Amino acid sequence: MRSENAIPSSSSSRTKVVVICHDSDRDEAKAIIDKSAPIGWFDAGEIRLLEAGSRPKLRPKEDGKEREITQDPELLKRTLDRIAPPQQAARAIIVGTVRLYPELPPSDPRGPVRLTSTAQLAEVLPNVLYTGGLDWLSHLMRFLEHYNVEIDQDRVDAWRYQFRVFDGDWIAEALLKLLDFWPSSKVSEALFRVPGHASPSTDNQIHDWLSSYDQIAFNKADSGDSSAMICRLAKTRIGEMLAAKRTDFAKHVTESTRPTKILLLEDCIVTGTEIVRLLAALPREKVQQHKIDMKFAVGTLSGCKRLELYLKQQGLTNTQVLVPQGAIMQNLTPAGLAVRDTALFTAEGELLSPAEHIIDGIQLRARPYFNQPERRAITALCADISTPLMRLHLEREKWDVQKIEAVICRWKLGFSGLGLLLAPAHGIPKPTLPLFWVEGPISVTHCGRHPYSWRGDWIPLFPRPLQEHMKTVAAAAASL
């Protein structure tokens, strides 16, 4: 049996369901939990898998000693009581002939359920998790309550249903499980984590850090986009200090008559293109006179390298990029890490060879949970659906036809080929898979296990604000 000290604990959540089984059933039991529970359930600590471990015991035989494997029911009971004490009334599910000492009586508040096999566990567990709100879909819906536009169960069901014609129900489920949703609280924690800190910073630490800046800047915070949301988060977190130091980044850089130390706050850096455009639109000598820290809540390694390359090329040594280490998506392949930064990007700053140098978002998120054939199937269907959606979006943005044709093969999984599964609560970044956020009429041909062609209006999981949706509908009607 695993030692008591090896059982993970969680300071933020209590155990609600414990599945106890023999060591020999562990892998199968874990697979059953994986199917119904959210990804990351083991680390979250609300669902526990406890093996009724074994210890060697020697018994004599005529020709010598024989090793026998025996359970330790007392140690197992002590471990159960530690990770799920009776007063917490966690649900205990015991699979197989597992012994506890003393046994759990029927009156035990943990409501012990005894099952004879993992096959029974597969039948019983989904309902147990659903009843307790511990299944992956309930977990997802709690997150989606924080999105800036209402997303109800009907919306999620409609989005999933579209995958059915491609025999892709399981792929829709996989994408929803893998979705990296960032509620505003998570964005705020990462954004205001003091550089160099591995854990959330205290208010005093944040105050000391921000006190060194003359200005706390935003990019067009009155525009109603993500910058406005970041500004609102800042008001909540550092309202009094912000009132004295808040400024518009571009306006301050161009109009300031003396050097200042500026902190620019942004939500994410995924391609690096937008922030490079912001800097490129400003007089270089004006940017150069200030000391600028750019703090992002989350980012990709490729996006950080794109911005750092621009800063180096422009000689802007007074500007640095800050992203919490754990919030940087390591999306460069060994080949991408090996080449010079100048070989990663075109002269326009686009990734030169995404297929060779980039680990797309599906692979980044799915690798620990799905095998290679499964990941290939997920990626193939996502590419088949996202390619026409990407083309549709670029056409709506009035891109030149030749330019669209030049990038579309590299952008089958979305902008720059990144194919992210990133979803902040305030809005979806464009490099996230288009099938999450682009709506409209498309034609899809999928050459999977059951080849199928489909034409129709794609319903994204994340709806646009009503005014944007109506604008899209009007534009589509005008083109008929």
Half-sphere exposure of 360 (CA within 13 A, CB side): 25
The enclosing H or E element of 320 equals strand 319-322
The enclosing H or E element of 48 equals strand 47-52
Q: pTM for the whole thing? A: 0.88
Distance from chain centroid for Cα 421: 6
Q: Is 115 helix (H, G, I), strand (E, B) or coil?
A: strand
- pLDDT tens, position by position, 199-210: 999 999 999 999
- pLDDT tens, position by position, 139-150: 999 999 999 999
Q: 436 with 382: CB under 8 angstroms? A: no
Q: Enumerate residue ranges in the chain where pLDDT < 50.
A: 1-11, 466-467, 469-470, 473-474, 476-478, 480
Domain chopping of the chain, boundaries: 4-132, 153-182+360-478, 184-350
Mean pLDDT in the chain?
90
Q: 416 with 271: CB under 8 angstroms? A: yes
Backbone angles phi, psi at 209, to 5 degrees: -65, -50
Helices (H), 211-333: 226-245, 249-255, 273-280, 284-288, 301-313
Considering the domain delimited by 184-350, tell me its CATH architecture.
3-Layer(aba) Sandwich (3.40)
pLDDT at res. 451: 78
Cis, bond preceding 441 (omega within 30 deg of 0): no
**Beta strand pairing status for 17-22 and 47-52?**
parallel
Q: What's the rounded Cα separation, in Å, for the pair 230 and 228?
A: 5
pLDDT at res. 347: 86
